[in-house]
């Protein structure tokens, strides 16, 4: 029996930017409730909601101060329970986002640790040291050091992200039990799946002082007990038959196969991000270069075929709340906006794996195009703006980098219609809305048969119509052209070929003399020329 998640599509909601029901300019749970019919119209099976638990919002909710209570800014527990029930009535399961690598520094546990309670100090990673000498010179993900000093304790604590996000000590069985109880709490409320934030960082290496310098997250990825901890969390809480996905920072194919092989009782699938670093110059997110499409194709070929050769399973996606909008990044915002948005969606939705649609991706929403640092909210963007200036860049150069790389690009409010605040709110918007909301919005696209929105609806529908998409083998084809990526899917008596032109020019691809029924596009016979950003999908048999 096909695991239910293998034939499903997940819709990701960044709650703060999805829909504001009470006019305070901030998205909320009742806003999501009001849009359930829209979400159901996409044909998705699950909704992943980013954290809405109590939080001081230093990292917009990824700094959790109470895992079991709803942040009043997003609503009440009653609103949450109603949302779970109403989604369930539509056949949609909710996937909650568990941030278990770290808590907020305002969590009760960390407050008691700062008060010197030994039991709670052991919930975190403290090391002795004098105030001028951190245990190592590791950097954290948002550009600061990875250690902060607590004078009253004479100790440093580790934080791989912001200083307000102290890392939990997973070696401590009490910590693991506390987190299992959080899972049990939400499972009992009817939640149908879990996304686990930076889950491959939870098992720290034996040494936290060597190497002396470098990226803390990189030194902590895929640690010595990570598989054991994940298996314990999943099996002790009985969530093996739920959809579970781990966000894996800079992991390997081998580990992703292990994380998602059903025989290992760990997760259903993993997110990894190698395909979203092909435009990082020298591997640095804040150094720009055009996407290396040859690298992109080789990554997908290696990982897709590698996973297909094993029992691993991938989440396949372009967008999320940390990534710039894909149509602005790998597509075209101008003449070929619609073609490129559709082509990019096609490429992902016929891959082997569970597709994730990030709110607004189905509309072809673009980057924010902010022109001043005051428009940005994200802790990472603000930190790196300062770092870029310190590196000698001008304000204009630094703003140009943020305009292409900042996480705020994906966090602009959902564009519902051409009305005020794009229909996101009656009262305002916590983050500025790009001017193109007057044409790129759900209402306008819903009634346009040729819209990106209706194209995405068709992509989800085709998945249900052709089991080969979920179950078939995959092989990447040699098109003789770096800009043209193509692969074939075979299985269950079906054979599909997917051909995508990732460039804004006409391209001729070789070796694609296929005959069959067009599922997408109208490729007559075996002509080999592809129009700019053209995607074709053929059912060969
Ligand atoms: O992201 C982890 C992560 O790897 C990202 O921060 C990524 O490194 C960065 O955005 C690339 O520039 C998860 C959440 O998705 C993110 O929103 C949180 O900020 C982070 O963990 C800490 O919880
Ligand atoms: Ca609100």
Q: Which pLDDT value is given to residue 170?
A: 98
Which of 430, 465, 500 is the endpoint of a domain?
465
Ligand nearest to the CA of 429: 2
CA gap 248, 195 in Å, rounded? 11
CATH code, 411: 3.20.20.80
Which ligand is nearest the CA of 407, by number?
A: 1
pLDDT tens sequence across 98-132? 999 999 999 999 999 999 999 999 999 999 999 99
User: Which ligand 1 atom minimizes the distance to the CA of 102?
Assistant: 23
Q: What is the pLDDT of residue 527?
A: 59
Catalytic site includes residue 24:
no
**What CATH number is attached to the domain comprising 529?**
2.60.40.1180
375 occurs within a structural domain? no
Identify the bridge partners of residue 124 per DSSP, sorted by sequence position: 168
Ligand 1 pocket, 123 CB below 6 A?
no
Instruction: Considering the candidates 63, 197, 361, 445, report the single residue annotated as catalytic.
Output: 197
Q: Tokens in use for 96?
A: 């909650």
Q: Which of 440, 465, 490 is the last residue of a domain?
A: 465
- In terms of domains, do 523 and 411 share one? no
Same domain? For 351 and 475 the reply is no
The model's pLDDT over 205-233, given as tens digits with 9 standing for 90+, comes to 999 999 999 999 999 999 999 999 999 99
Q: Specify the DSSP class assigned to residue 491.
A: E
Look up tokens 């249900």; give the residue: 464
> Among candidates 462, 457, 406, 415, which has minimal Cα distance to 434?
415
| Dist. CA 472–CA 326, nearest whole Å | 26
Ligand 1: atom nearest CA of 405 is 12
The secondary element (H helix, E strand) that includes residue 381 is helix 379-390
Whole-number Cα distances in Å, 94 to 10, 83, 249, 484: 10, 9, 23, 36
Which DSSP helix (H) or strand (E) runs through 211?
A: none
**DSSP, res 314:** B
**440 shares its domain with 478:** no
Task: Tell me the CA–centroid distance for residue 301 and ligand 1, in Å.
Answer: 25
- Whole-number Å distance, alpha carbon 322 to ligand 1 midpoint, is 6
Verify whether ligand 1 is closer than 6 Å to residue 486 (CB atom). Answer: no
Which pLDDT band holds residue 279 (cuts at 50, 70, 90)?
very high
Q: How far apart are CA 286 and CA 388, in angstroms?
A: 8
Does ligand 1 come within 6 angstroms of the Cβ of 98? Answer: no
Distance, in Å, from the CA atom of 43 to the CA atom of 104, rounded to the nearest integer, reads: 35
Instruction: Identify whether 59 is part of a domain.
Output: yes
Tell whether 360 and 480 lie within a shared domain. no
Does 407 sit in the ligand 1 pocket, CB within 6 Å? yes
Residue 525: pLDDT above 60? no
**Rounded to the nearest whole angstrom, what is the distance from the C-alpha of residue 380 to the centroid of ligand 1?**
9
Structure tokens at 162: 């912001």
Of 63, 97, 222, 247, the active-site residue reads 247
Q: Is the same domain home to 477 and 452?
A: no
**Both 488 and 444 in a single domain?**
no
Distance CA 272, CA 228 (A): 20
Atom 7 in ligand 1: which residue has the minimum CA distance?
Answer: 322
Residue 428 lies in a domain: yes
pLDDT of residue 31: 99
The 3-class secondary structure across 214-263, one letter per residue, is EEHHHHHCCCCCHHHHHHHHHHHCCCCCCEEEEECCCCCHHHHHHHHCHH
* Residue linked to tokens 């992109």: 296
Task: Verify that 424 and 516 share a domain, yes or no.
Answer: no
160 pocket-lining for ligand 1 (C-beta < 6 Å): no
pLDDT tens, 17-55? 999 999 999 999 999 999 999 999 999 999 999 999 999
**320 vs 421: CA distance, rounded Å:** 22
**What's the CA-to-centroid distance between 197 and ligand 1, angstroms?**
8
Rounded Cα distance between 6 and 315, Å, is 10
Q: Is 211 inside a domain boundary?
A: no
Tokens of 484: 């043209």
Task: Check: pTM over 0.95? Answer yes or no.
Answer: yes
SS3 254: helix
User: Is 446 a domain residue?
Assistant: yes
Task: Give nearest CA residue, ligand 1 atom 14.
Answer: 197
Residue 33 three-state SS: helix
Cα 397 to middle of ligand 1, angstroms: 24
The DSSP secondary-structure symbol of 421 reads: G
The minimum-distance atom of ligand 1 relative to the CA of 63 is 23
Q: Are 162 and 96 in contact (CB under 8 A)?
A: no
Rg from Cα positions in the chain: 23
Residue 394 lies in a domain: no
Same-domain status, 39 and 3: yes
pLDDT digits (tens, 9 = 90+) for 361-393: 999 999 999 999 999 999 999 999 999 999 999
Whether 247 sits among the annotated catalytic residues: the reply is yes
Question: Residue 349: inside a domain, yes or no?
Answer: yes
Q: Which residues pair with 529 in a beta bridge?
A: 508
Final residue of a structural domain among 437, 465, 493: 465
Q: Report yes or no: 203 and 226 within 8 Å, Cβ to Cβ.
A: yes
DSSP string, 147-181: EEEETTTTEEEE-SS-TTSPBB-TTSHHHHHHHHH
pLDDT of 1: 41
Question: For residue 524, what pLDDT is reported?
Answer: 64
Owning domain of residue 531: 471-540
CA dihedral defined by 68, 73, 77, 83, rounded to 10 degrees? -110
Ligand nearest to the CA of 284: 1
Q: How far is CA 92 from CA 84, 95, 183, 191, 244, in A?
A: 9, 10, 19, 10, 15
Do residues 414 and 359 touch, judged by C-beta distance below 8 A?
Answer: yes
Identify whether 93 is part of a domain. Answer: yes
Cβ distance 148 to 140 under 8 Å? no
Q: Are residues 432 and 364 in the same domain?
A: yes
Q: 64-83 pLDDT, tens per residue?
A: 999 999 999 999 999 999 99
Ligand 1 pocket residue status of 99, Cβ below 6 Å: yes
Pair (412, 453) in one structural domain: yes
Average pLDDT of the chain to the nearest whole number: 96
Instruction: Return the best residue to mutate from 64, 139, 198, 321 for the ligand 1 pocket (most ligand atoms within 8 A of CB).
Output: 198
Residue 32 corresponds to which tokens in the numbers above? 């999501």
Ligand 1 atom nearest the C-alpha of 101 is 23
What ranges make up the beta strands (E) of 118-241? 126-128, 137-139, 147-150, 155-158, 193-196, 213-215
**Ligand 2 center to 18 CA (angstroms):** 10
**Tens-place pLDDT, residues 138-164:** 999 999 999 999 999 999 999 999 999
State the pLDDT at residue 2. 52
Q: How many domains does the chain have?
A: 2
Query: Are residue 412 and residue 527 in the same domain, yes or no?
Result: no
Looking up tokens 């902590």 gives: 220
Nearest to 354 by CA among 465, 231, 268: 268
Whether residue 318 has pLDDT greater than 60: yes
Is the minimum distance from the CB of 322 to ligand 1 under 6 angstroms? yes
Is 438 in a helix, a strand, or coil? helix
Q: Give the atom of ligand 1 at the shortest distance from the alpha carbon of 321.
A: 17
Both structure tokens of 196: 């686990």
Domain co-membership, 329 together with 455: yes
Q: Which-ligand-closest: CA of 104?
A: 1
């Amino acid at each position: 029996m096909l695991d239910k998640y293998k034939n499903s599509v997940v819709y990701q909601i960044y709650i703060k930017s999805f829909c504001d029901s009470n006019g305070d300019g901030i998205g909320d749970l009742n806003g999501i409730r009001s849009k359930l019919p829209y979400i159901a119209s996409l044909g998705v099976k699950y909704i992943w909601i980013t954290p809405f638990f109590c939080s001081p919002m230093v990292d917009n909710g990824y700094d959790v101060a109470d895992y079991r209570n709803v942040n009043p800014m997003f609503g009440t527990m009653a609103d949450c329970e109603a949302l779970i029930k109403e989604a369930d009535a539509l056949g949609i399961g909710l996937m909650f986002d568990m941030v278990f690598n770290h808590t907020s520094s305002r969590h009760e546990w960390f407050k008691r640790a700062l008060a010197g309670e030994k039991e709670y100090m052991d919930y975190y990673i403290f090391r002795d040291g004098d105030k001028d000498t951190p245990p190592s010179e590791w950097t954290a993900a948002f550009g600061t050091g990875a250690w902060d000093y607590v004078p009253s304790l004479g100790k440093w604590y580790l934080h791989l992200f912001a200083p307000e996000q102290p890392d939990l000590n997973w070696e401590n069985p009490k910590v693991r039990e506390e987190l299992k109880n959080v899972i049990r709490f939400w499972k009992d409320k009817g939640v149908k799946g879990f996304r686990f934030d930076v889950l491959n960082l939870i098992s720290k290496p034996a040494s936290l002082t060597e190497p002396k310098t470098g990226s803390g997250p990189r030194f902590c990825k895929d640690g010595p007990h990570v598989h054991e901890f994940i298996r314990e969390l999943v099996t002790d809480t009985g969530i093996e038959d739920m959809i579970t996905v781990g966000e894996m920072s800079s992991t390997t194919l081998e580990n992703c196969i292990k994380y998602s092989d059903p025989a290992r009782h760990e997760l259903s699938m993993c997110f990894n991000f190698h395909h979203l670093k092909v435009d990082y110059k020298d591997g640095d997110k804040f150094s720009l270069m055009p996407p290396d499409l040859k690298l992109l194709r080789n990554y997908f070929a290696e990982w897709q075929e590698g996973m297909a050769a094993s029992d691993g399973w991938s989440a396949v996606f372009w967008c999320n709340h940390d990534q710039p909008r894909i149509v602005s990044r790998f597509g075209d915002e101008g003449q070929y906006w619609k073609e490129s948005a559709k082509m990019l969606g096609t490429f992902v939705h016929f891959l082997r794996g569970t597709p994730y649609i990030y709110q607004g991706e189905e509309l072809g929403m673009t980057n924010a195009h902010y022109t001043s640092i005051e428009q940005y909210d994200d802790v990472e963007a603000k930190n790196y703006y300062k770092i870029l200036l310190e590196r000698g860049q001008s304000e204009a150069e630094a703003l140009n980098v943020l305009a292409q790389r900042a996480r705020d690009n994906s966090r602009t409010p959902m564009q519902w219609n051409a009305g005020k605040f794009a229909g996101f709110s009656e009262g305002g918007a916590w983050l500025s809305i790009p001017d193109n909301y007057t044409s790129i919005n759900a209402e306008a696209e819903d009634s346009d048969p040729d819209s990106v929105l209706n194209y995405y609806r068709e992509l989800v529908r085709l998945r249900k119509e052709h089991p080969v998409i979920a179950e078939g083998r995959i092989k990447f084809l040699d098109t003789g052209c770096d800009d043209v990526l193509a692969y074939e899917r075979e299985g269950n008596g079906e054979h599909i070929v997917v051909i995508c032109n990732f460039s804004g020019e006409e391209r001729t691809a070789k070796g694609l003399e296929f005959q069959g029924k067009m599922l997408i596009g109208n490729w007559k016979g075996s002509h080999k020329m592809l129009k700019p950003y053209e995607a074709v999908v053929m059912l060969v048999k």
